[in-house]
């Protein structure tokens, strides 16, 4: 998304926990944009405050609230500290950041906020319970904030990606689940759709056909069926038969 914005002429402040220098170097190599980096832990209030302070210095008016992690597995088998860190990053940091930056955007009479939720927001997800709930929180929060900000010149756009080829699944140790093994959307396509939506000030975009299909399925299923259907994606899945490294039996 940073690259997509930089290619469209935005100056970019990249905030992440690590690897920011690399991202900044690549953006400078491939675009003519003004690029700045900041390495902070957004799961900590001090990290959010540092990011907002730098954004204020730079006069940032477009915020992409994207940092997020997944914690996979039966709820009672996952470390509590991982679950709470997920809440701190996926939920708390977005609320904190929005609370700090929205007054500046209102005062400026213009601003764009993008909240990266997920199609996981549309259905409960056994084995991925806290993540799905965090994304449902974000979707609801973003729509509510958008409603409150109507007429101020500040828009809030919710992004609902489906499975996308990023390090996300490896980081959450989900490579052997059905979703981990399934074909995924390209990050470039998701970023393009997301940035188009933010520029148009749209309320919400499900990025790609798979994402739109999941949203449509969620609309028609009753809640118990949603949980069963969606939970399948997070259960262990056999590798595709064509895979040369496929073991004879199911994984995990």
Residue 164 in the binding site for ligand NAP (CB under 6 A) = yes
27: left (phi over 0), alpha (psi -120 to 50) or beta: alpha
Residue 167 in the binding site for ligand NAP (CB under 6 A) = yes
CB of 228 to ligand NAP, least distance (A): 20
Among 42, 94, 113, 125, binds ligand NAP (CB under 6 A): 42
CB of 151 to ligand NAP, least distance (A): 29
Q: State which residue, 42 or 97, has the beta carbon closest to ligand NAP.
A: 42
CB of 209 to ligand NAP, least distance (A): 15
Residue 188 in the binding site for ligand NAP (CB under 6 A) = no
Residue 16 in the binding site for ligand NAP (CB under 6 A) = yes
Decide: 93 and 48 in contact? Cβ < 8 Å: yes
- The structure tokens 């039996």 sit at 249
Q: Which residue minimizes CB distance to ligand NAP? A: 68
According to CB under 6 A, which residues from 63 to 82 bind ligand NAP?
Answer: 66-69
- Would you say the C-alpha torsion 184, 186, 189, 195 has a positive or negative sign? positive
Q: Given the rule CB under 6 A, which residues bind ligand NAP? A: 16-19, 41-43, 66-69, 89, 116, 118, 161, 163-164, 166-168, 171
């Amino acid at each position: 998304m940073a690259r997509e914005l930089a290619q469209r002429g935005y100056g970019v402040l990249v905030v992440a926990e690590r690897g920011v220098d690399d991202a900044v170097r690549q953006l400078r190599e491939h675009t003519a944009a003004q690029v700045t980096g900041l390495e902070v832990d957004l799961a900590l209030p001090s990290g959010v405050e540092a990011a907002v302070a730098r954004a204020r210095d730079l006069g940032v008016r477009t915020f992409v609230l994207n940092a997020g992690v997944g914690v996979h597995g039966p709820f009672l088998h996952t470390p509590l500290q991982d679950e709470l860190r997920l809440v701190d990053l996926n939920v708390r940091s977005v609320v904190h950041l929005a609370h700090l930056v929205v007054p500046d955007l209102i005062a400026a009479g213009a601003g764009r906020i993008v909240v990266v939720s997920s199609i996981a927001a549309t259905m409960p997800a056994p084995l991925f319970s806290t993540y799905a709930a965090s994304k449902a929180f974000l979707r609801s929060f973003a729509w509510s904030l958008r409603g409150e900000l109507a007429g101020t010149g500040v828009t809030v756009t919710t992004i609902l990606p489906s499975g996308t080829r990023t390090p996300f699944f490896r980081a959450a140790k989900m490579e052997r689940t059905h979703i981990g093994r399934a074909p995924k959307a390209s990050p470039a396509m998701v970023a393009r759709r997301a940035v188009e939506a933010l520029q148009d000030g749209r309320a919400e975009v499900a990025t790609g056909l798979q994402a739109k299909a999941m949203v449509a399925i969620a609309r028609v299923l009753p809640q118990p069926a949603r949980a069963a259907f969606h939970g399948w994606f997070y259960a262990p899945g056999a590798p595709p038969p064509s895979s040369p490294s496929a073991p004879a039996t199911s994984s995990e």
